[in-house]
Amino acid sequence: MSHTPITPPFRGPRPFQAGERLYGRDYEARALLSMLVAERAVLLHSPSGAGKTSLIQAALLPLLAERDFVVLPTVRVGEEAPPGWVGNRYVRAMLLALEEGQTDADQVSTAEISAISLKQYLTQRIPENQDTVLIIDQFEEVLTRDPTDQGAKSVFFRELGAALQQPRLWVLCVVREEYVAALEPFMRLLPNRLAAHFRLDLLGVEGALEALREPLQGIGVTFPLPQANRLIDDLRRVNVQQADGSIRSELGPSVEPVQLQVVGLRLWERLPTGTTSISAQQIDALGDVGKALGDYYAERAASVAQASGVEERSLRNWFEHELITPQGVRGQVLQGAGSSAGLENSAITQLIDAYLVRAEPRRGATWYELAHDRLIAPIQANNAFWFAANLSTLQRQAQLWEQQGRPEGLLLRGASLLEAESWASQHSKSLTPSERDFLDLCRRARQRAALLRNLSIAVAVVAVIALILALIANVFRVQAEHNARQARSRELAAAAVTNLLVDPQRSLILAHAAYTTSAAAGDPAPPEALEALQQALAASRVRQIIHVSERGLQDLALSPDGRLVATSANDGMIHIIDRAQGQEIQRITANADGLPVFGLAFSPDGTYLAAGSGDQVVLWEITRGQVAYQFDAHPESGAEVASNDILAVAFSPDGSVIASGSADGSARLWDLNQVQPIHSLAVESEVWAIAYSPDGRYLATGDFAGQIMLWDVLSGEQIWSIPAHQDLITGLAISPDGSSIASSSADLSVRLWASSDGTAIDVLRGHATTVESVAFSATGDRLATASADGSAKVWALDSSRMILSLVGHENGLSGATFSPDGNQLLTSSLDGTLRTWDLSLAPADGAYGALFSPAGDTLATYGATQVQIWNQAGDTLLYSTELPMLIATIAYHPQGTEIAVGSIDGTILLIDPQSGTINQRLEGHSDQINRLAFSPDGQRLVSASRDGSLSIWDCTDGSEIINLPTANNDEVTVVAFSPDGSMIASVANGEISLWDAAGQSLGKTWTLRSNEIVQGLTFSHAGRWIAAGNDGGGSGHLGDQHQPRSGSDHNPERLHRPRL
């Protein structure tokens, strides 16, 4: 039986394909069709990002089919000719592209192509009495591939002109707008000089509304016009500089299609299941256009930097300082020879293809500018976050020094300068000229300071008074150095906390540095450093990093006993690692050509390792490292044919049969005892993943078309087939009990299916790019996924919830698998390393949160119904308590003698953390407890609840002192006691309120923003300031509790991306 999952209604940055509905372009498609039919030869051009490819593939081709036109394969002219080619390179590229649509029997040989003209070829290929359309995409390649080869270009245009003389041929040439003028010298060689031009503009407001609303309407989701207009207005907003130099934001006339698709896809992915209409609140919470565009910019900037070899920092600086002016409007960069304003033109071309930059021809020159004003604020915000997270102290300070006119007051001194010098010595190639100037001036300032100190000492010898003054000065210097170390320690601690979610391993290194900066000098570490170290120890789960290959790792397999791990590199080498030693014990050359190896599998007894190399299945005996079996698993087209390459292998559970999946569209089963084929399974699409059921009766296959098929191993018959994904399937796994199948895909999702009939069970989303592999734990209650986005994730299958996200690899992941006991996860990556991650703090239902005891000697974690107490390092379980309720939050008593546990039904328990004994049961709330806080003396407890109230409790007898409902029964999200216990702060519906310890209102409030979900709230150590942070970590607020303002007329100071 077959099941079709819901296709996302938006396409993100990729173009629309044939068969997909393109909304908002009906008029343009029909106008282009009319011009093409009337003129027979049309030049289609547009600004970058207007959607030429989408218009052709999804709108024009269906209209041509309705009129019975035969459309030849879309061609390009930029393919390089081989050395020694004597014909015209552009004609050759066209003919080879047209030949791709022919069968092997009908294809023209390479020798014939060199001797045939374009007209002769089309005369042979165009069906008789049939109107035919030829589409030439990226026509500008005839200009850009070899700008000096004018003769070859003229020959090509003459041949194209001769071909256009055929009466039943129509031609559409597609070109980027900035190259239209450069084509003009060659137009005279065409019959009609290609005079018919069709310009595709950006989306107008009506078209943009249709493109936003109609796809959702088609799947039963209503997008009301007011909400849709808000989103469209945000996308078309531009900055206009006024006569007085000020900047005013105004609504522009058009929307970038690719930006609309990116924002639409982000909005769709965040809609709750079952949504039928998009509300204004959902637009506020989910439709953050700036965040979506900022994320898109970050993804494309990273990919372009990697592909072009340009440092991501340089690329971001180019946007920040060349394409955006200090006034916050778009700047312009004149195209140079090889590079423009310091950035290579090859990288700029990729940024144009990513729809971030637009090239505009003006006055005989080409100028680069941002694709749209709406990108300015997202790029600036994303750059600020990236620079804060990735630049060293030296780089950040040098940049600030340069921006403020190089003042001497910003030079580094003391410990900060030493740290900057150490970093510079290790990264000298990364230093810019400005940073070198800054470091030189810092050193000169230190030399001057040293000279002054020496003079002071000399003068001090002369007189006792001078000596006393020198001693006093020395005291101040020691204190200053102490203060500098403390400041540096706090700075490192802040950086560690900032990196917790980005790179926990780096966070641990920074936290350790924060601690040792003070401890090495004999100073007590500041509380911030201790807290950062505690948090980093809890967050970092890396237990082992093994550097395997500089070429990146392609595949991953773990021996049944968990002792050995095998991984293949992109150079055709297979590495076998002893996990206990962390060292390579064998290296196997899979093939002499250095080709990648696809598919790795240990036999069930651990004796053999199998892999696919070309169309060969090879088995090595692990103890000797010698080939035990080798045979042509998919031989029909010959071992030299790339389309027969093996992409996946798997042993049957008893080890007697090996299955292989191939690019030839089949899966095959081989009897290893006889080395004979058993069955050939016709999948009819490249087989990228295979998996056996635990009993060995069934085999699942996943293919390039996104299908999953289940086969009976004994008969070779197909049991069922489903269209599982919208893109190729990269991994398959069958649960230990055989009841379900998990699949990963390039469509960014992981899906679960019933093994019995292919019924869809669940969809797991959370990865940002292709999900490369999927694996069940031995108990079957957890699932591990690895993605090209650089993260591995662990999911609790009973709740469909992600319980861990493991980041730290420096490139995309290629595989992930559980250790046999389920306490560790192994990952392989394109960064060339294997990592082992500790899962011991993650119970099957997930650890919802973790909290250090006040003394810092134990760590409490809580899951659905369980509280567990661990040692400080988090690797030894001390106590575990099972509670008769679902846990929502916990809090430690200031003396560590009790833990308060809040449930989702509103009940609060006070328990002994060692024995698990319930000391008090506090009842009064009618809905979930969101947050708990003890008073500093431990005598009182305040609770925040979803029922719209907060309560103050007497911890000695469990009585409720007072219940304080909010004005409109708004949910109370967080509460906190002041350090002296005299005040309580609470937050409901974006408003901070102050109460005394008895629950009487102090009449002090701060209105942050209506409906803002505040999850972080704390008093400063002196109790004067209150800091609040929102749910996404994107903004924070400070308020002075001595000088509040009541009502909604006060906007507290906003901070840039705090971590509260």
Helix or strand holding residue 62 (H, E) = helix 61-66
Q: Are residues 826 and 950 in the same domain?
A: no
Name the domain boundary from 838, 869, 904.
838
Q: What percent of the chain has pLDDT over 90?
A: 32
Q: Is 833 exposed, middle or buried (0-12, 13-18, 19+ CB in 10 A)?
A: buried
Checking if the pLDDT of 771 tops 90, the result is: yes
Q: Are residues 578 and 718 in the same domain?
A: yes
- Stronger pLDDT, 741 or 470, i.e. the higher one: 741
Q: What percent of the chain has pLDDT over 70?
A: 88
Q: Is 1039 exposed, middle or buried (0-12, 13-18, 19+ CB in 10 A)?
A: buried
Q: Is 752 exposed, middle or buried (0-12, 13-18, 19+ CB in 10 A)?
A: buried
pLDDT at 785: 97
- Stronger pLDDT, 329 or 236, i.e. the higher one: 236
Question: 931-941, pLDDT tens digit by residue?
Answer: 999 999 999 99
Question: 440-459, pLDDT tens digit by residue?
Answer: 888 888 887 777 777 766 65
pLDDT at 1048: 37
Q: Are residues 866 and 775 in the same domain?
A: no
If you average pLDDT over residues 412-434, what whole number do you get?
79
How far, in Å, CA of 571 to CA of 591, rounded?
Answer: 9
Checking if the pLDDT of 531 tops 50, the result is: yes
CA pseudo-torsion sign 70, 75, 81, 86: positive
**402 within some domain:** no
Closest-CA residue to 210 (of 59, 35, 47): 59
Question: 825-838, pLDDT tens digit by residue?
Answer: 999 999 999 999 88
If you average pLDDT over residues 788-812, what whole number do you get?
85
Question: 55-100, pLDDT tens digit by residue?
Answer: 999 999 999 999 999 999 888 888 777 777 778 888 888 888 888 7
| Domains held by the chain: number | 7
Question: 647-697, pLDDT tens digit by residue?
Answer: 999 999 999 999 999 988 999 999 998 888 899 999 989 999 999 999 999
pLDDT at 642: 47
Question: 597-619, pLDDT tens digit by residue?
Answer: 888 999 999 999 999 988 889 99
Checking if the pLDDT of 1056 tops 50, the result is: no
If you average pLDDT over residues 1034-1042, what whole number do you get?
53
- Stronger pLDDT, 789 or 391, i.e. the higher one: 789
Do 778 and 770 touch, CB atoms closer than 8 A?
Answer: no
Question: 565-577, pLDDT tens digit by residue?
Answer: 999 987 888 999 9
**20 within some domain:** no
If you average pLDDT over residues 182-187, what whole number do you get?
87
Do 14 and 58 touch, CB atoms closer than 8 A?
Answer: no
Q: Are residues 592 and 692 in the same domain?
A: yes
Do 638 and 673 touch, CB atoms closer than 8 A?
Answer: no
pLDDT at 535: 62
- Token digits for 766? 């959370």
- Stronger pLDDT, 373 or 295, i.e. the higher one: 295
Do 1015 and 988 touch, CB atoms closer than 8 A?
Answer: no
Tell me which amino acid residue 473 is: A
**925 within some domain:** yes
Question: 711-724, pLDDT tens digit by residue?
Answer: 999 999 999 999 99
- Stronger pLDDT, 857 or 994, i.e. the higher one: 994
**533 within some domain:** no
If you average pLDDT over residues 151-166, what whole number do you get?
89
Closest-CA residue to 782 (of 808, 748, 750): 750
HSE-up (13 A, CA, CB side) for residue 513 = 17
Do 281 and 1011 touch, CB atoms closer than 8 A?
Answer: yes
Do 164 and 41 touch, CB atoms closer than 8 A?
Answer: yes
Q: Can you give the residue range of the structural domain that contains 457?
A: 416-469
Closest-CA residue to 537 (of 515, 504, 513, 514): 504
**21 within some domain:** no
How far, in Å, CA of 492 to CA of 393, rounded?
Answer: 10
How far, in Å, CA of 764 to CA of 542, rounded?
Answer: 24
| Alpha-carbon distances of 112 from 91, 96, 119, 156, rounded to whole Å | 13, 11, 14, 18
Q: Are residues 857 and 919 in the same domain?
A: yes
Q: What angle do CA 182, 183, 189 make, to 5 degrees?
A: 145
Other CB atoms within a 10 A radius of the CB of residue 483 amount to 12
Residue 803 — pLDDT band, cuts 50, 70, 90? Answer: confident
3-state DSSP assignment of residue 242: coil
Rounded to a whole number of angstroms, the distance between the first and last alpha carbons of the chain is 52
How far, in Å, CA of 703 to CA of 809, rounded?
Answer: 28
Q: Is 547 exposed, middle or buried (0-12, 13-18, 19+ CB in 10 A)?
A: exposed
Which DSSP string corresponds to 295-356?
HHHHHHHHHHHHHH---HHHHHHHIIIIIB-TTSSB--EE--SSEETTEEHHHHHHHHHTTS
| Alpha-carbon distances of 924 from 653, 868, 928, rounded to whole Å | 56, 26, 11
Q: Are residues 224 and 193 in the same domain?
A: no
Name the domain boundary from 201, 217, 235.
201
Checking if the pLDDT of 549 tops 50, the result is: yes
Helix or strand holding residue 921 (H, E) = strand 918-922
* All residues at 6 or more sequence positions from 1034 whose CB lies less than 8 Å from its CB, including other chains: 291, 1057
Comparing 7-16, 360-369, 853-862, the range with the smallest average pLDDT is 360-369
- Stronger pLDDT, 958 or 415, i.e. the higher one: 958
**398 within some domain:** no
How far, in Å, CA of 969 to CA of 737, rounded?
Answer: 47
Q: Are residues 826 and 683 in the same domain?
A: yes
Name the domain boundary from 447, 469, 491.
469
Residue 640 — pLDDT band, cuts 50, 70, 90? Answer: very low
Closest-CA residue to 7 (of 215, 210, 212): 215
CATH code, domain carrying 932: 2.130.10.10
- Token digits for 1008? 């942050």
3-state DSSP assignment of residue 369: strand
Comparing 249-253, 400-404, 538-542, 643-647, the range with the smallest average pLDDT is 538-542
How far, in Å, CA of 492 to CA of 514, rounded?
Answer: 5
Checking if the pLDDT of 810 tops 80, the result is: yes
How far, in Å, CA of 986 to CA of 629, rounded?
Answer: 70
pLDDT at 506: 67
pLDDT at 539: 61
**85 within some domain:** yes
Q: Are residues 306 and 281 in the same domain?
A: no
Checking if the pLDDT of 363 tops 60, the result is: no
Name the maximum alpha-carbon separation found in the chain: 113
Q: Are residues 264 and 322 in the same domain?
A: no
Question: 620-639, pLDDT tens digit by residue?
Answer: 999 888 888 888 877 765 44
How far, in Å, CA of 393 to CA of 410, rounded?
Answer: 12
| Alpha-carbon distances of 303 from 290, 300, 307, rounded to whole Å | 20, 5, 6
pLDDT at 695: 95
Do 997 and 940 touch, CB atoms closer than 8 A?
Answer: yes
- The chain-wide mean pLDDT, for the chain, equals 83
* All residues at 6 or more sequence positions from 182 whose CB lies less than 8 Å from its CB, including other chains: 140, 143
Do 882 and 865 touch, CB atoms closer than 8 A?
Answer: yes
Q: What angle do CA 555, 559, 561 make, to 5 degrees?
A: 150
Best mean pLDDT range from 94-108, 371-385, 518-532, 722-736: 722-736
Distance of CA 945 to the CA centre of its chain: 34
How far, in Å, CA of 1000 to CA of 994, rounded?
Answer: 9
Residue 498 — pLDDT band, cuts 50, 70, 90? Answer: low
Q: Are residues 149 and 191 in the same domain?
A: yes
Q: Are residues 687 and 706 in the same domain?
A: yes
Checking if the pLDDT of 226 tops 80, the result is: yes
Do 720 and 698 touch, CB atoms closer than 8 A?
Answer: no
How far, in Å, CA of 716 to CA of 682, rounded?
Answer: 10
How far, in Å, CA of 1033 to CA of 450, rounded?
Answer: 44
Tell me which amino acid residue 678 is: I
If you average pLDDT over residues 802-815, what whole number do you get?
86
DSSP state of 912: -
How far, in Å, CA of 790 to CA of 241, rounded?
Answer: 41
**2 within some domain:** no
The conformational region for residue 394 under phi > 0 = left, psi -120 to 50 = alpha, else beta, is: alpha
Question: 835-869, pLDDT tens digit by residue?
Answer: 998 886 554 445 567 788 888 888 888 876 788 88
pLDDT at 881: 86
The residues with which 612 forms a beta bridge, in sequence order, are: 598, 617
Residue 359 — pLDDT band, cuts 50, 70, 90? Answer: confident
How far, in Å, CA of 792 to CA of 834, rounded?
Answer: 12
How far, in Å, CA of 607 to CA of 609, rounded?
Answer: 7
Comparing 1-10, 236-245, 422-431, 673-682, the range with the smallest average pLDDT is 1-10
Q: Are residues 548 and 690 in the same domain?
A: yes
CATH code, domain carrying 157: 3.40.50.300
pLDDT at 372: 63
